[in-house]
Amino acid sequence: MELLRLLALAMMALQPGVAGGAETVGNSSVGVIEFSVGKFRYFKLNRPFPEEAILRNISSNVTFLIFQIHSQYQNTTISFSKQTRLPNSSGTGTDKGLVFILRPEQSMCFWYLETLDAEPVQNVAIPLSYSERDPVPGGCNLEFDLDIDPNIYLEFDFFETTIKFAPANLGYARGTDPPPCDIRTGQDSRWRLQYDVYQYFLPEDDLTEEGLLKHLQRMAEVPQVTANAIKVVTLTANDKTSVSFSSLRGQGVIYNVIVWDPFLNTSAAYVPVHTYACSFEAMEGNCSSLGRVSTKVFFTLFALLGLFICFFGHRFWKTELFFIGFIFMGFFFYILISRLTLINYDVRLILTAITGSVGGLFLVAAWWRFGILMLCMLCVGLVLGFLVSSVTFFTPLGNLTVFRNDDVFWVTFSCIAILIPVVFMGCLRMTLLSWQYGGCWLSVELRYKFGVKEGDRLFLPTHTSYGNERGNAESRTFWILATTSLH
């Protein structure tokens, strides 16, 4: 009997089937998670226990699959093999995916999931299927590790968020070779493809994991992306596959790219990526506690001064001149030291306050000693012109393709900023009136932001950038405006 039992066990072990699946079931240290095409699944990953993802019953008209996994801020690894560290067959991050090119007659495939985080990681994942007519996201990748890379790579700093992705390729049938990427550039090659970049804002002040994973489901598939997100720019195969946006610290944003084949009228979605433009794990200034004490003190005093100028400006003319000179000098000084030096933030803030005060005193002294009204109004007009120019590029005008060129953008921006004081210099009273209304708006908004929102965000993005977040032109404009907030 014992011999028969051993023989039966041996026969079960040798029973034909999918090797990966049979091996995983027998391994107590590896779990198995079954997925269905087009259906999201929530699960947790634990550090010592990798998981195997299995997708069964794949339709014969499916040519390739994109399996994507998302978490809020803890990294997870997705891999084709159990050796999850292989660079050309795995990806690690908070928003990662793999493309699985199916072989003829293949109806089942596997992925391996793992985390190195000490705490359990909550994830949501979904496999999406595409046919041979659909373009392959990342199919012409030459920059990143994976051979076919459907991922969007996101980088951010204090001012700017940049996304990059690999070019796509045309679709092809199972068992055939992919079309060449760069041999031809005609309409029968991948150069006919277009890329629509979409942006989706999470609810303001929503930093919850549950909220993010729920909203990510609206950015995974093509119909949901086009229905829920804002299309900010369309790129052709001749454009760089890189787009810049304004960094909004503490504001959750999801980006995705839809590659479209205009000849076949088919499309496919890359793996969406999200950011809060801040870190959940930083000891100081993390997403849950944005804003420094120095920032709040600086702008509280600045807001009080602005409020005073708003209501009593012309009664205290020299105080108003000091305020104008402070903005003018402090603003440009902060831009220079932020771009050219690596000085500590608090030191920059102190130096900006000192330089702004020197500028304010200089303007007051120039008026007191020489009484030149034209010089004072020139400073007023330049500040007003800068605000007008900045707001102009926050409108859909800044989304025009021509302004993606740095030279065109800066020349246009400077012309608008200079045109305002030139026009108003002919009517000094109009300039003073415009400045006083502008000071009212600025001071009231700053007072609101620091009294109600604890100084976490800028005075302009609350009204413009959330609704009109655009491409490179607005990002450059926002970078300059952001320097005045000194987060």
**Domain positions in the chain:** 20-275, 291-485
Residue 258: its pLDDT value, please? 97
CA distance 487 to 474: 19
* Residue that has been written with the tokens 């989304």 in this structure: 399
DSSP of 305-357, one letter per residue?
A: HHHHHHHHTGGGHHHHHHHHHHHHHHHHHHHHHHHH----HHHHHHHHHHHHH
Residue 426 DSSP SS3: coil
Residue 17: its pLDDT value, please? 34
Where are the extended beta strands (E) located within 102-156?
109-114, 121-130, 152-156
Asked whether 31 and 111 are in contact (CB, 8 A), the reply is no
Q: Which stretches in the chain have pLDDT values below 50? A: 1-29, 439-487
Nearest partner of 132 among 261, 243, 45, judged by Cα: 261
Residue 252: its pLDDT value, please? 92
Residue 49: its pLDDT value, please? 74
Cβ within 8 Å of residue 82, ≥6 positions away: 30, 50, 112
Structural domain 20-275, CATH architecture: Sandwich (2.60)
Chain-centroid distance, C-alpha 467: 15
Cβ within 8 Å of residue 76, ≥6 positions away: 45, 69, 92, 93, 94, 96, 113, 114, 115, 121, 123
**pTM value?**
0.75
Angle between helices 345-370 and 293-312 (to 10 degrees): 20
Residue 332: its pLDDT value, please? 84
Residue 200: its pLDDT value, please? 95
Nearest partner of 194 among 258, 260, 268, judged by Cα: 260
- Compute how many other C-beta atoms are within 10 angstroms of the C-beta atom of residue 407: 7
For residue 51, what are the β-bridge partners?
Answer: 31, 113
Residue 448: its pLDDT value, please? 39
